[in-house]
Amino acid sequence: MRIFSWNVNGIRSVWKNGMLQKFISRHAPDILCLQETKAEREQWEVDLPRYQEYWNSGERKGYSGTAIFVKKGIKVIKVENDFPESIVNRFGIGKDNFGNSNKEGRIITAEFENFFIVNVYVPNAKDDLSRLPLRYNSWDPALLAYAKSLDKIKPVILAGDFNVAHKSEDLARPKQNEGRKGFTKEERQGFQKLIDAGFVDTFRIFTKESGHYTWWTHWANSRARNIGWRIDYILVSQKLTAKVKEAKIHSEIMGSDHCPVSIVLSE
């Protein structure tokens, strides 16, 4: 089973420029998790007849949003949008100066026969770190607790844009970016707690060295120069690790400031 995740930075844009069609035609993902769709389903005129579509669009128009596309023939047991109320209440996820983070379409969970997929678009801490308290105090602990609760039922695959470079090997210029959004101690700790809880960074099973990134700023020809960050991940429960046969970053796929990441999971 081929599972892909891609922050498309606007699904209508990546469809209009033809890159999404090329990507699907070339890789034919069995399950495709998209982040930053920036659209509601009815705003996207195109149907993909081979796929079942599940959307979680934010209340704010043209902002955030996630979706999961699943090949027809693969049974989807249940799909749920956003954190459940019990998690929201426990961790106080609610409004900040930017809005209600649980109403921004940032998380969608699909249950399959043998696992859950949690597709996430984790809030950006912002240049001035004004959303870092939300990340550190609410969102990251909530995601950890939610993933652990699901893992008690069946294995979990966490896929998406986590908006953090975990270690210095995960960005081209760690010294210059120490303490800035995406590479603060707090954000990195939040991600490490997922690892400590037994969720495995699949890309690092196969690739240990630096120089592999999933996001590049539009400035200074950064992508061509490979001055990037690895902030898009697919994590799996420890019990799924042996089934992961491949994990890749597809930096050749254009159309967004992010590129897709993928795993191949044995049946």
Catalytic residues: 121, 161
* Other beta carbons within 10 Å of 50: 12
- Residue environment code for 136-158, b if the CB has 16+ CB neighbours within 10 A, otherwise e: bebbbbbbbbbbeebbeebbbbb
Pairing of strands 232-237, 244-249: unpaired
Distance of CA 15 to the CA centre of its chain: 19
State how far the Cα of 187 lies from the Cα of 6, in Å rounded to an integer.
21
Residue 173 tokens read as 């210029």
State how far the Cα of 122 lies from the Cα of 223, in Å rounded to an integer.
22
Report in angstroms the alpha-carbon separations of 125 from 57, 61, 110, 170, 185: 20, 20, 26, 17, 12
State how far the Cα of 104 lies from the Cα of 122, in Å rounded to an integer.
10
Helix (H, G, I), strand (E, B) or coil at 117: strand
